[in-house]
Structure 1
C-alpha cells in the first residue's frame, strides 16, 4: 500500500516511540511559534499500529498541537513494520541533521536489543559505517542511567553529556547536577570534569569542585587575547564583548579575594 495523507484526530496518535527523541524545550517553543503564526506546514509521519497511528516523525508538532488545542493534524501514513519504522526515524532526520547524537544512539541501541541485530547489520540497514554505529552505541554504555534519563528529558544537553562520559558512572550524576544548576556551557563542563578527574582524593573532589565549582571556573578567566575581535559580530557586538571581558578581570580578582579563607597567621 502506497503512503497516503490523512487528517488524523490527536487522540488517535500513538507516541510510544517518543522515548527515542530528546525533549528539547527550546525547539518545542520554536515549533509552537511557527504553528501559531503559520499553522501546520508539513505533515507528521506515522504508521498504523494496533488501531492507532504510531508517530515516527513530528513529535514536537503533536505536542504543540495539544497545547494549542488543535483537533487534527495532517499525517502521512506508511504501511511498514516496527523495525522499518525505527530505521526511518534515523533516515527522516538525516538530510537536515536534526537528530542529536544521543538520539541516534538510543535508536541504534533499541534496534540492537529489540530486533536482535548485529552492529554490521545496523551499518548495512542505516547506510552508515560500522565505526559510526559503534561510536554511538559506546556512548550509551558509558552513561549512568539517571543521567541518561535527564538527557532524554532535555535537562542535560548533548554537549554537557559529552563531558560527563569521561567520568566513572558513579560520579556522573553529582557533576551533572552542578552543571545543570549553573547552566554551564560545553567548554565549562569540560573544565569542571577535568578538574574533578585531577583532584587528589574524594575530599578534594567534594570540597573544591562539587561545593565550590565557581572557583574552578573563575580560574580559567584569562587576559584579553591580542586580537579579541570576532568576525561574526558587528562592531557594536565586538565593543560589547571587549567591555564585558575587561569587566570580568577585576571582578574575578575581587571574587577570589572574597572567597579566600582568612589568614591563619594573623593574631
Structure 2
C-alpha cells in the first residue's frame, strides 16, 4: 500500500543542494516566481528526500531562489520515501510537467549514470526512451567545453544556442566554439542570426570563418544589409527580373551540359541511357518551343 508523501516546513539551511549544478539559472523566471511568492506565498511545495538531519532537494531550486530573494528562510517541502536515484528518475519522467531544459535533463542523466551507475539501457527503459536518446542527451554536456557549459548553466547563454549551434561547432572546432561563446555573451545574437551565422560558417573557407568568429555582430549586420539590398532589388525588378534571372540560369546550365556532352553521349552507348538522354532533351526542346510561341503571341 502506497503512503502519502509528508508535507512540512523547514529552515532553508537544512537543505542539501547537491543538484543545484543541474539547473539553469533564469533571471526572468526568478522575477516572476519572486513576485508570485510575495503576493501569494509558496503555493507548490518543493520535492525532497530525508537524509539524517538534512533534506536533499530534488526539485524546486527556482522556488528556493525566489524564497531567498523574498528574504524568507523557511520552505514548504514534500518529503518522498523514494530512494534518491528513484526520485531523479521520477523527476525526469515527469518532464512534460516540470519542463526541464535539454541540458538540465542531460545533467541529471549524468548523475544517474555516473554516481548511481545506472546503465544506458536502464535509464532509457525507465524514461520510456531509447538508448540513442540517452546518449544524445549526455553528448550535449560531454561535447561542450567547460567554459561554454558554465555559461549555459549560469544563464548567460540559452540552452537552445548550446544544443543547436555550439555543440556541433565544438565537435568541428573547439577553439572557434570558445571564441564565438565569448562574443555572443558580450553582444548577444537572436536565434535567427545565430542560425544564419552557423549556416554561413559551415559553407565558408577558413579565412571567412575567421572573420565570422572574430566579429559575429558585424557579420550579421553586413548579411542583413545585403539581404535587404537583394530584397529591394527583387522588388524593384518585379516578376520580370526574376524571370530573366531564371532563364539566364537555364542558359548557363545548357552551356555546361553542352561542354560535357561527350562524356555522356558517345558511340555504342548503352541503349537505356541513350533513350533517357533523348527523352530529357525532347522535353527541354518542347518547353523552349512553347516559351518561344508565347513570346511571339504576346509581342
Report the TM-score range of the alignment, normalised by the length of the smaller protein. 0.7 to 0.9
Q: Secondary structure of 2:125's partner?
A: helix
Q: Describe the SS at the equivalent of 2:78.
A: strand
For residues 155-205 of structure 1, give each alpha carbon's deviation from its aligned partner in whole angstroms, at most 9, with x where no partner exists.
Answer: 11012112111212232111111222222122212222333344422x543
Alignment of structure 1 residues 1-267 onto 2, 5 Å: 2-92=4-94, 94-96=95-97, 98-161=99-162, 162-167=164-169, 168-201=173-206, 204-206=208-210, 208-218=211-221, 219-220=223-224, 221-222=227-228, 223=231
Give the distance between the partners of 2:26 and 2:74, measured in 1 at CA.
23
* Aligned equivalents of 1:55, 1:150: Cα separation in 2: 23
Q: Find the counterpart in structure 2 of residue 251 from structure 1.
A: none
Distance (whole Å) between structure 2 residues aligned to residue 210 and residue 171 of structure 1:
7
RMSD: 2.1
Distance 1:5 1:186 in 2: 42
Match of 1:231 in 2: none
Instruction: Show CA shifts across 1:128-156 (max 9, x none).
Output: 23332232122223211211111111111
TM-score for the superposition, normalised by structure 1: 0.76
Preserved contact between residue 160 and residue 185 of structure 1 (Cα < 8 Å): no
Checking the alignment, whether the CA contact within 8 Å between 2:103 and 2:159 is kept in structure 1 is yes
What SS does structure 2 have at the residue aligned with 1:166?
A: helix
TM-score by length of 2: 0.68
Maintained 8 Å contact 2:24/2:155: yes
Contact kept, 8 Å, 2:7 with 2:79, in 1: the verdict is: yes
In the alignment, structure 2 segments of 5+ residues that lack a partner are 235-299
Per-residue deviation, residues 24-68 of structure 1 (Å, max 9, x unmatched): 111111111111111111111111124211111111111111121
Task: Report the Cα offset of residue 2 of structure 1.
Answer: 4.2
Matching residue of 1:239: none
Between the two proteins, the alignment pairs up a number of residues equal to 222
Asked if the contact 1:86/1:107 (under 8 Å) is kept, the reply is yes
Pair 152,50 (structure 1): closer, same or farther in 2 beyond 3 Å: farther
